[in-house]
Amino acid sequence: MSRLYCMGSNGQGQLGLSHREDIIALQEVPLPESLNKIKKLNCGGNHTILLDSNGSIYGTGDNNESQLGLPEKVLAQFNKLQCNVKVKDIACSWTSTLILTEGNELLIMGKGFKGELGLGSGVVSTENKWVSVMKFKQGNTVKLYGSLQNFVVVDNSLYGSIIYGWGANTKCQLLSPKSRKVEKPTVLWESSNTTIQEVAMGKDFFAFIDDQRNLVKLTGNVPQSFDLKNRTKKDILGIHCMWTSIHLQTANQIQSYGNNRYNQLFDNTKFDRDNVIKFVAGSEHGILVTKREDFFEVWCWGWAEHGNCGILNGPTEVQTSIHINDQSNISSPPNMIFKCKKEPFVYGGCATTWIWV
């Protein structure tokens, strides 16, 4: 059983806290008793999906586009989603939910006007049911990635990597030349000798990293200040994208490129820790984890208008009372929000911050 904490934007109940207030201090999320250990958490615009180690999925937040497939239009607590098969992976677009079944079949539910359902010409809704997108060979290792108007799926086998993608293509984020949308899963790239390990998706640009930590492919409307030529060395420990910026973890630093209107680019001069072990990116904020002696710290930075980077120099424990966002932290420097003994998992959604242990 996991414990889950969160804060930030909550207009549609996407935090699962039984209320719809934006909050600026971490609160514990009430979880259904049947939920086992959390394996993955993913957010769309206003909905949140949890995958547990039993292969069950749970959702909360906006269901107006049937992205959760439940009877209610809006939920403010995690509910088990109807699905007859065990689930291995999940990803969300703005208003849809994509799952990978144990039979390596991709199913989707929800709505999408930019081809992100992958169901072919003109299909923009699945009408409250799971619809099959495609199937992969048994035994292949398949990983799902979502951004607001796109999905990318990596299909790894003994014979190499194949990357599929679909959705908006107005910035050549999938294929050249540009097109308004790619409405069916389409091969973006394949290789028999390179294995893709990670895909980082911005709003309309994507980065692909291999298992040797090389940045092997970069597509779409990449922030101008970012230069792939200087980045082919094997020095990337992690890569994540906010919607309008790209961030690399290299030997204890976060190097950022792109939109900096709200302190999204990490300011290493305002950060005195030297042991970053991992980081993730939400829509316009980042979350990183450091290790100090025998405990871990979680820090947030970037656009914080919805309370998603916490109270500046505020508490580092989970709060039992609701701290409604007071707009005291809009544009956040690196800000410590949590301390714990066990290595935490972190995730950033659309102005939402998630920690589970």
Residues that bind another protein (CB under 8 A): 9, 11-12, 14, 45-46, 94, 113-114, 148-149, 168, 170, 180, 204, 242-244, 259, 261-262, 282-284, 303, 305-306, 330, 349-352
- What residue has token string 């659309």? 350
Q: Rank residues 274 and 326 by Cβ distance to another protein and give the closer one.
A: 326
In the complex, least distance from residue 98 CB atom to another protein, rounded to whole angstroms: 17
Q: Rank residues 114 and 323 by Cβ distance to another protein and give the closer one.
A: 114
Q: Rank residues 168 and 276 by Cβ distance to another protein and give the closer one.
A: 168
Q: Rank residues 111 and 217 by Cβ distance to another protein and give the closer one.
A: 111
In the complex, least distance from residue 321 CB atom to another protein, rounded to whole angstroms: 24
What are the phi and psi torsion angles at 171 (to 5°)?
A: -115, 20
How far is the C-alpha of 49 from the C-alpha of 55, rounded, in Å?
12
DSSP, collapsed to helix, strand or coil, labels residue 303 as strand
What are the phi and psi torsion angles at 270 (to 5°)?
A: -105, 20
- The answer to whether the beta carbons of residues 215 and 236 sit under 8 Å apart is yes
How far is the C-alpha of 288 from the C-alpha of 307, rounded, in Å?
17
CA angle 201/284/287 to nearest 5° reads 85
353: nearest Cα among 5, 96, 72: 5
- What residue has token string 């109270």? 311
How far is the C-alpha of 106 from the C-alpha of 116, rounded, in Å?
13
Q: Rank residues 5 and 243 by Cβ distance to another protein and give the closer one.
A: 243
Q: Rank residues 133 and 281 by Cβ distance to another protein and give the closer one.
A: 281
- The answer to whether the beta carbons of residues 239 and 232 sit under 8 Å apart is no
Q: Rank residues 65 and 297 by Cβ distance to another protein and give the closer one.
A: 65
How far is the C-alpha of 110 from the C-alpha of 93, rounded, in Å?
9
Residues 6 or more apart whose Cβ sits within 8 Å of residue 71: none
In the complex, least distance from residue 349 CB atom to another protein, rounded to whole angstroms: 8
| Alpha-carbon distance values, 97 to 22, 62, 108, 258 (Å) | 23, 12, 6, 28
In the complex, least distance from residue 184 CB atom to another protein, rounded to whole angstroms: 20
In the complex, least distance from residue 350 CB atom to another protein, rounded to whole angstroms: 4
In the complex, least distance from residue 143 CB atom to another protein, rounded to whole angstroms: 23
- What residue has token string 């849809």? 96
Q: Rank residues 243 and 279 by Cβ distance to another protein and give the closer one.
A: 243
In the complex, least distance from residue 128 CB atom to another protein, rounded to whole angstroms: 20
What element of type H or E holds 134? strand 131-135
In the complex, least distance from residue 65 CB atom to another protein, rounded to whole angstroms: 12
